[in-house]
Amino acid sequence: MSEVEEIEKAVKNLPASELRRFREWFDAFDGETWDAQIEADVASGKLDALADAAIADHDSGNSKPL
């Protein structure tokens, strides 16, 4: 059995109160992981081309006020 399958099995067997605690933990963990990845992508310049394209679209009138 793979590690992921073991985790899935353990999560399925959690009582409701523990499942709620796990969800809260995982939500925070997932958000922190996502934030770290975005920060790394920004710092490395990985998103520069996308930002430049969005700015160019805006400058050429291809955007609307929110």
DSSP 8-class letter at 47? T
- The H or E element spanning position 20 is helix 16-44
Percent of the chain past pLDDT 70, that is, above it, reads 100
Query: Residue 55, CB half-sphere, CA atoms under 13 Å: how many?
Result: 6
Across residues 39-49, what is the average pLDDT?
A: 97
Ordered by start, the domain boundaries in the chain are 3-59
Tokens of 27: 């939500």
pLDDT of amino acid 65: 86
The pTM assigned to this predicted structure is: 0.68
Those residues whose C-beta lies under 8 Å from the C-beta of residue 19, and which sit 6 or more positions away, are 11
pLDDT tens digits for range 16-42: 999 999 999 999 999 999 999 999 999
Integer Cα distance of 61 and 34 in angstroms: 31
The amino acid that residue 11 corresponds to is V
Q: What pLDDT is recorded for position 66?
A: 87
